[in-house]
Structure 1
Amino acid sequence: MSKTAARSAIRGRFLDIENTVAQACEIHDQARYVEDGLLICLNGKIEWFGTWQDGQAHLPPDVQVQHYPDQLIIPGFIDTHIHYPQTEMIGAYGEQLLEWLDTYTFPTELQFSDPAYAEKIAEFFVQELLKNGTTTALVFCTVHPQSVDALFQAAQKRQMRLIAGKVMMDRHAPENLCDTAESAYADSKQLIEKWHGKGRNLYAVTPRFAPTSTPEQLARAGQLKAEYPDVYVHTHLSENKNEIAWAKALFPEQKGYLDVYHHYGLTGSRSVFAHCVHLEDDEWQCMHDTDSAIAFCPTSNLFLGSGLFPLKKTWEAQVKVGLGTDIGAGTSFSQLQTIQEAYKVQQLQGDKLSAFEALYHTTLGGAKALDLADQLGNFNIGKEADFIVLDLQPTALQALRQSRAKGIEDAVFALMMMGDDRNVQAAYVYGECAYQRSKA
């Protein structure tokens, strides 16, 4: 019998966004709050969801119910952009993007040539995701194939749905961190065959960003995408103004930065571009036309001084977007802390970010950005049972604020503005408890 060949049942307060939406104003109508609900899981999927009163008729007599009467249960957070090899260099001082890569990132990533080291950091990374309530992530590895193996092995042990890939980088980086167009293609192809669609693992073709790949390598990346249409593409775009100028100078034959990726066949419904802080109008149109997605990474954008992402524009242009922590330029694994900074970024632009819109971007909207909304993101029957249990008052200050909450939306907004990993009491992956906060 496999690990998940059994039913489990969870009772408590549930909140999710029931359907994907086209405008932020529609989210409130899709917010589904069940004060006393029941979730029944079978073989890792949601078998039944509704009120406790209705659900008892669907509950087999031999299934023990795990009851969380005082907590809030929501779908697991989805992180649409994060670098696991940068875990140990989080919070590195004083540089903007290009200098930061040379000073901190590249020296750290060199260590992942050692499989034992990669395995140690992968284990830490996956546990840290769960501790913060993140159950699915789109992840950068390093140029080393063994970095991908280590991460997928760590995810597979926990039955987590992770998307990851080997970095492709054949110029403008230290020599012993560079591959070639041919080796990147061959290594990536082998990794796709080994991992993509095995268990819950999915593969992403991962050129670091256009300036660190030759035209020949980007063509090979596009070839991989054409040969394996259901794999992902994961890269960076328009994060920093100097980076944009550099990309344009390196590819003068293209109309702009995004057009470099588009030219090589790297846009599409499973293509996720991190940052996109400084997109031009025709690039917004291309993102929409190709059904490509953006990972909004506010803690990183603020930490590196990259700029303020125009989240409102994603609704206007009808471009998919999810939230990303972007460890290690990002400063926290917590999507709650990421939401806090996203809210401030919008405030600085004269816009708002409601509690339910933030919930959408970190759950169902993130699943849509990853082309997984049919499998993840809410409690609809048939979806994969990834969810988290949140303690709304783990500190005296949060308890005081929650005592004044005016309904569920206000309670969730307070949680998002004050919360962190201490709020995550448990994380369930594929219907089973994968993380439980210690009571100590």
Structure 2
Amino acid sequence: MLKVYRGELLHFLADPAKVELEDSYQYIEDGLLIIKNGLIEQVGEASELLPTLDSNIDVVHYENGLIMPGFIDTHVHYPQTEMIASYGEQLLEWLENYTFPFERKFSDLEHGKKVAEFFLTQLLDAGTTTALVFGTVHKESVDAFFSVAQQKKLRMICGKVLMDQNCPDYLSDTAQSGYDDSKALIEKWHKKDRLQYAITPRFAPTCSSEQLNKAGQLLAENPSVYLHTHLSENKDEIAWVNELFPDSDGYLDVYDKSKLLGRRSVFAHGVHLHDSECQRLGETDSAIAFCPSSNLFLGSGLFNLQQAQKFDVNVGYGTDIGAGTTFSMLSTLNEGYKTQQLRSEKLSPFQSFYLATLGGAIALDLEGTIGNFSKGAEADFIVLDYHATPLMDRRMQHCTHLSEKLFILSMLGDERHVKATHIMGERI
């Protein structure tokens, strides 16, 4: 069963920070995307591919827009959807005053399903087709999320939060119960359809050494699952970790001692990292989720992208709802650009869109599965509309280069500029 889409096409082949710019992407002004059974079959010039198609095949033509792979969100909390935009705190106070009370409700499976339905609809409206997602401490939160994601045929990664200290009693598990619950969820959901599991210690302060070691054991027993946690987001948090784990050589080392670093380990934030920590992340093929909206909102700091690149650390973008204030990856690119400006460093639009697509796929060890239009990849893609708002429409009239178009999309774009979202080739 072939599906064929025509229009302006862009996807990335490599990291623009590592190769010559022109070798990092493929751009076709009038291209065809040919999809067979939900997977990419071929991409190329419309003039070359159209004559090879049967005359009875329907070609969907998207004009005045850009067809590109769906966005990938490498760090987001679905249970925090309804507490987005909570005023006035930095990380630790914000967790205590807002986050924990909201997460309490997710012991109820039906509540979880309702929030998951809304959350996933918001992501898809914003052009995000894959995300690495925090649940809560409750097994029900993961069952709810995965059951809704499965119905929508999405590639999603989620996990039950592990917390056995420095948290409210009503959100606490134990090292053993966290292990047992996570193991059961892995057996139930991991690799079921397009779903994958992430072992999810909230962050070092809420996990005993015993719990982190059990997480490491679980990871060793299930090498194809993910590890998803927070790292070096806020200076007070880092000081607290140093107090709680005096035998460790810094925040990352707490996780390293429990054998939690690796190819499928994703650490959110990494705002305040030492070179030695970046070197260790690079050596172990671990990834950082860069969450500019959240970092600015909570006053956490400005992520050092160039430091991560220097040590060859995999980086993807995260919206970090609900400390992040937008589901839109386009709006997140806007915030990312500004964080680098404040560091007196440039973030090119090519680099931004790479991080939101192929960069995110590499961070999640899903290169070749999602993130670009390579043959055999899953056909999750979006269409960005150059004319969705009068302001963008007017600004685009003065464009001469692709880089300018991409920059305008990333500065002026939001959910309104996502004309269509497709999952496995189907417009949803």
CA–CA separation in structure 2 for the residues paired with 1:153 and 1:21: 34
**Which secondary structure state, in structure 1, belongs to the residue aligned with residue 369 of structure 2?**
coil
Give the aligned residue type for 1:217: Q
Could you tell me the TM-score, scaled by structure 1's length?
0.96
**Which secondary structure state, in structure 2, belongs to the residue aligned with residue 105 of structure 1?**
helix
- Which of the residues 294, 312, 321 maps onto 2:306? 312
Give the aligned residue type for 1:421: E
CA–CA separation in structure 2 for the residues paired with 1:386 and 1:57: 25
- Which of the residues 360, 366, 377 maps onto 1:372? 366
Give the aligned residue type for 1:353: L
CA–CA separation in structure 2 for the residues paired with 1:86 and 1:27: 38
Give the aligned residue type for 2:143: D
- After superposition, the C-alpha distances for 1:40-65 in whole angstroms (9 at most, x for unaligned) are 11111101111111212442344311
CA–CA separation in structure 2 for the residues paired with 1:262 and 1:116: 37
Identity %: 56
CA–CA separation in structure 2 for the residues paired with 1:339 and 1:22: 16
CA–CA separation in structure 2 for the residues paired with 1:331 and 1:32: 32
CA–CA separation in structure 2 for the residues paired with 1:380 and 1:292: 24
Aligned to 1:279: 273
Give the aligned residue type for 1:164: C
- After superposition, the C-alpha distances for 1:274-304 in whole angstroms (9 at most, x for unaligned) are 0000011211111011110000000000000
**Which secondary structure state, in structure 2, belongs to the residue aligned with residue 374 of structure 1?**
coil
- Which of the residues 233, 236, 239 maps onto 1:239? 233
Structure 2: 5+ residue stretches without partners: none
CA–CA separation in structure 2 for the residues paired with 1:323 and 1:12: 26
Aligned to 1:258: 252
Q: 1:198 offset after TM fit, Å?
A: 0.6
CA–CA separation in structure 2 for the residues paired with 1:246 and 1:346: 27
Matched, 1:14 2:22: no
Structure 1: 5+ residue stretches without partners: 1-5, 435-440
1:4-403 paired onto structure 2 within 5 Å: 6-17=1-12, 19-21=13-15, 23=17, 26-403=20-397
Give the aligned residue type for 1:48: Q
Q: 1:20 offset after TM fit, Å?
A: 2.3
CA–CA separation in structure 1 for the residues paired with 2:7 and 2:59: 10
Q: From the superposition, tell whether residues 133 and 106 of structure 1 become closer, same or farther in structure 2 (CA, over 3 Å).
A: same
Task: Kindly indicate whether the alpha-carbon contact (under 8 Å) linking 2:150 and 2:195 is maintained by their aligned counterparts in 1.
Answer: yes
Give the aligned residue type for 1:332: T
- After superposition, the C-alpha distances for 1:194-224 in whole angstroms (9 at most, x for unaligned) are 1111111010000000110111111110011
**Which secondary structure state, in structure 1, belongs to the residue aligned with residue 6 of structure 2?**
strand
Q: From the superposition, tell whether residues 426 and 287 of structure 1 become closer, same or farther in structure 2 (CA, over 3 Å).
A: same
Count of aligned pairs: 428
Q: 1:358 offset after TM fit, Å?
A: 0.5
Matched, 1:422 2:416: yes
Q: From the superposition, tell whether residues 60 and 194 of structure 1 become closer, same or farther in structure 2 (CA, over 3 Å).
A: farther
| Superposition RMSD in Å | 1.1
Q: From the superposition, tell whether residues 197 and 286 of structure 1 become closer, same or farther in structure 2 (CA, over 3 Å).
A: same
Give the aligned residue type for 1:191: L
Runs of 4+ in 1 over 4 A off after TM superposition: none
Task: Kindly indicate whether the alpha-carbon contact (under 8 Å) linking 1:238 and 1:278 is maintained by their aligned counterparts in 2.
Answer: yes
CA–CA separation in structure 1 for the residues paired with 2:273 and 2:326: 25
**Which secondary structure state, in structure 2, belongs to the residue aligned with residue 33 of structure 1?**
strand
Q: 1:331 offset after TM fit, Å?
A: 0.5
Q: 1:159 offset after TM fit, Å?
A: 1.1
**Which secondary structure state, in structure 2, belongs to the residue aligned with residue 46 of structure 1?**
strand
Task: Kindly indicate whether the alpha-carbon contact (under 8 Å) linking 1:40 and 1:59 is maintained by their aligned counterparts in 2.
Answer: no
Give the aligned residue type for 2:59: V
CA–CA separation in structure 2 for the residues paired with 1:114 and 1:58: 53
**Which secondary structure state, in structure 2, belongs to the residue aligned with residue 332 of structure 1?**
coil
Task: Kindly indicate whether the alpha-carbon contact (under 8 Å) linking 2:15 and 2:351 is maintained by their aligned counterparts in 1.
Answer: no
Deviates more, 1:266-275 or 1:280-289: 280-289
